[in-house]
């Protein structure tokens, strides 16, 4: 009986590590029956194919000029994770929406896969404006952008030099530059930063001479007693049926993990510098009051010029706002874009 009890305990422990927390309306793979959807492909300025999912209401007047919103996925994710959900919920409110895969991720071009290039990521959003602004059913003067997690910092970077983005919103934003230079709450020392940079530089020799590509960070693939709560939060989304998705040509072992040698490029990424120059275009920052990433939305909001707004969602963590429809303020996002893309 003792051995049976132990075996049962191990089984239940394994189940607890992989069962998805579907509370608060978690619905990452939501499919709307009131929309049309189409996979589209367009070129960025580097002649790389960017792939996206285009959504619009079935009853939309394609003879009219309609407002549009571009949605970017969390860093290390793909359009099927969080951004498709946001795109559909906003399209149901009358917008044309486009959820894109950033270059090097998902179905978009870029080699090596999972490479980090903040400049190209920002360019992808401008390329999406190129695409939408040349559709006969889109009003090119009414295009907004929405970035989730790391894409929040990429849309800000893009909007600073692309005035065609008329309204900018972020959800659970990560400043990917600060997160890599300083870690959360500035907990990383300069010596630790330099060690990361040195390791990446040494790895360049390995890969230049034909060695195996190394990957870094991302979400753990199994839980144990010592797994950090933040990693558990990401695990519940990326490693369970709640949000797990492996793009064609990738593998579960590589999903969410950027290449080690390219990830240090984030050290040179300062998306909030000159953020005030986006004004008078409006900015909306949405974060959870329990989000470990809240510091980034607060920092951006402090630096931004008017009009700007910071919305803090009670009882919401960082990943909660990826897919928990009971917590995501879709009404607030709808009102923001309706007001500023009218």
pTM: 0.94
pLDDT band at residue 6 under the 50/70/90 scheme: very low
Structure tokens at 254: 């590589």
- The model's pLDDT over 190-231, given as tens digits with 9 standing for 90+, comes to 999 999 999 999 999 999 999 999 999 999 999 999 999 999
Looking at residues 226-248, what average pLDDT do you find? 96
Residue 52 above 80 pLDDT?
yes
For residue 130, with 0-12 CB atoms within 10 Å meaning exposed, 13-18 middle and 19 or more buried, which class applies?
middle
Identify the pLDDT of residue 122.
Answer: 98
**Of residues 1, 10, 22, the one with CA closest to residue 236:** 22
- Residue-range domains of the chain with CATH: 22-187+269-340 (3.40.50.1820)
pLDDT band at residue 250 under the 50/70/90 scheme: confident
Greater confidence (291 vs 3) lies with 291
Do the beta carbons of residue 260 and residue 93 sit within 8 Å? no
Identify the pLDDT of residue 16.
Answer: 44
């Amino acid at each position: 009986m003792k051995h049976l009890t132990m075996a049962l305990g191990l089984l239940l422990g394994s189940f607890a590590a992989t069962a998805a927390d579907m509370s608060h309306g978690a619905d990452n793979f939501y499919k709307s029956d009131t929309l049309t959807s189409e996979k589209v492909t367009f070129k960025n300025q580097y002649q790389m194919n960017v792939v996206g999912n285009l959504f619009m209401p079935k009853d939309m007047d394609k003879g009219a000029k309609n407002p549009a919103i571009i949605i970017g996925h969390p860093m290390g994710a793909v359009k099927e994770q969080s951004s498709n959900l946001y795109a559909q919920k906003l399209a149901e409110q009358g917008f044309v929406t486009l959820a894109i895969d950033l270059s090097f991720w998902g179905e978009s071009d870029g080699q090596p896969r999972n490479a980090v290039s903040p400049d190209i990521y920002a360019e992808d959003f401008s390329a999406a404006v190129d695409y939408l602004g040349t559709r006969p059913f889109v009003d090119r003067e009414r295009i907004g952008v929405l970035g989730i997690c790391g894409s929040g910092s990429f849309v800000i970077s893009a909007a600073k030099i692309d005035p065609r983005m008329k309204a900018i919103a972020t959800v659970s934003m990560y400043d990917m530059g600060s997160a890599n230079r300083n870690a959360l709450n500035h907990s990383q020392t300069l010596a630790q930063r330099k060690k990361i940079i040195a390791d990446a530089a040494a790895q360049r020799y390995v890969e230049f001479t034909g060695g195996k590509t190394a990957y870094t960070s991302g979400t753990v693939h199994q839980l144990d007693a010592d797994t950090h709560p933040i990693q558990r939060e990401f695990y519940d989304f990326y490693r369970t049926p709640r949000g797990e998705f492996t793009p064609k040509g990738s593998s579960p072992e590589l999903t969410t993990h950027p290449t080690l040698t390219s990830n240090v490029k984030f050290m040179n990424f300062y998306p909030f510098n000159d953020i005030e120059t986006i004004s008078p275009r409006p900015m909306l920052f949405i974060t959870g009051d329990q989000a470990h990433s809240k510091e980034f939305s607060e920092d951006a909001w402090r630096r931004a010029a008017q009009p700007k707004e910071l919305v803090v969602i009670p009882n919401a963590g960082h990943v909660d706002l990826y897919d928990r429809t009971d917590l995501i303020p879709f009404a607030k996002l709808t009102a923001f874009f309706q007001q500023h893309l009218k």
